[in-house]
Amino acid sequence: MRETVDIEFIYVVVPLNANEKDNMLSIIGGVTADEFKNDKDKIIEPDTLTESHYSSETAQKYLDAYNSGETSFF
Protein backbone atom coordinates (compact mmCIF):
# COMPACT_ATOMS: atom_id res chain seq x y z
CA MET A 1 0.00 0.00 0.00
CA ARG A 2 2.74 2.46 0.92
CA GLU A 3 4.51 1.79 -2.37
CA THR A 4 1.47 2.58 -4.51
CA VAL A 5 -0.24 5.35 -2.50
CA ASP A 6 1.43 8.43 -1.03
CA ILE A 7 1.15 7.37 2.63
CA GLU A 8 4.18 7.84 4.86
CA PHE A 9 3.20 5.42 7.65
CA ILE A 10 0.62 2.70 8.26
CA TYR A 11 0.31 1.44 11.82
CA VAL A 12 -2.46 -0.07 13.86
CA VAL A 13 -1.77 0.13 17.59
CA VAL A 14 -3.74 -0.39 20.77
CA PRO A 15 -2.95 2.22 23.43
CA LEU A 16 -2.33 0.61 26.79
CA ASN A 17 -1.32 3.46 29.10
CA ALA A 18 0.38 6.87 29.10
CA ASN A 19 3.72 5.69 30.48
CA GLU A 20 6.98 6.75 28.85
CA LYS A 21 7.71 3.20 27.68
CA ASP A 22 5.68 0.19 26.51
CA ASN A 23 2.53 2.28 26.13
CA MET A 24 1.24 0.81 22.84
CA LEU A 25 0.70 -2.69 21.49
CA SER A 26 1.60 -3.01 17.82
CA ILE A 27 -1.04 -4.82 15.75
CA ILE A 28 0.01 -3.95 12.17
CA GLY A 29 3.03 -2.09 10.85
CA GLY A 30 3.06 -1.40 7.14
CA VAL A 31 6.55 -1.45 5.66
CA THR A 32 7.78 -1.22 2.10
CA ALA A 33 9.69 -4.05 0.46
CA ASP A 34 12.86 -1.95 0.74
CA GLU A 35 12.35 -1.36 4.47
CA PHE A 36 11.68 -5.03 5.02
CA LYS A 37 14.89 -5.93 3.19
CA ASN A 38 17.22 -3.23 4.55
CA ASP A 39 15.80 -1.98 7.87
CA LYS A 40 14.53 -5.08 9.65
CA ASP A 41 16.08 -3.93 12.91
CA LYS A 42 13.84 -0.82 12.86
CA ILE A 43 10.56 -2.65 12.21
CA ILE A 44 8.18 -2.99 15.14
CA GLU A 45 6.91 -6.55 14.99
CA PRO A 46 3.16 -7.20 15.31
CA ASP A 47 1.90 -8.27 18.73
CA THR A 48 4.77 -6.58 20.56
CA LEU A 49 5.05 -3.50 22.75
CA THR A 50 6.35 -0.39 21.03
CA GLU A 51 9.04 0.30 23.66
CA SER A 52 9.65 4.06 23.63
CA HIS A 53 8.47 4.94 20.12
CA TYR A 54 5.54 7.00 21.47
CA SER A 55 5.86 9.80 24.03
CA SER A 56 3.56 9.73 27.06
CA GLU A 57 1.70 12.75 25.62
CA THR A 58 1.08 10.97 22.32
CA ALA A 59 0.09 7.78 24.14
CA GLN A 60 -2.44 9.76 26.18
CA LYS A 61 -3.89 11.29 22.99
CA TYR A 62 -4.32 7.81 21.51
CA LEU A 63 -5.69 6.44 24.78
CA ASP A 64 -8.31 9.23 24.98
CA ALA A 65 -9.38 8.59 21.40
CA TYR A 66 -9.49 4.83 21.98
CA ASN A 67 -11.61 5.24 25.11
CA SER A 68 -14.04 7.56 23.33
CA GLY A 69 -15.61 4.53 21.66
CA GLU A 70 -15.27 6.07 18.19
CA THR A 71 -13.02 4.94 15.37
CA SER A 72 -9.95 7.18 15.28
CA PHE A 73 -7.36 7.90 12.63
CA PHE A 74 -4.23 10.00 13.09
> What stretch of H or E contains 36?
helix 33-38
**DSSP conformational letter for 1:** -
pTM: 0.68
62 with 24: CB under 8 angstroms?
Answer: yes
Average pLDDT, the chain: 82
pLDDT-derived band at 44 (thresholds 50, 70, 90) equals low
Report the percentage of the chain scoring pLDDT > 90: 32
Is the pLDDT confidence value at 43 over 80? no
Q: Where are the domains of the chain?
A: 10-67
Q: What torsion, rounded to 10 degrees, do the Cα atoms 27, 33, 39, 42 define?
A: -10
C-alpha span between 48 and 66 (Å, rounded): 18
Give residue-wise pLDDT tens across range 12-26.
889 999 999 999 998
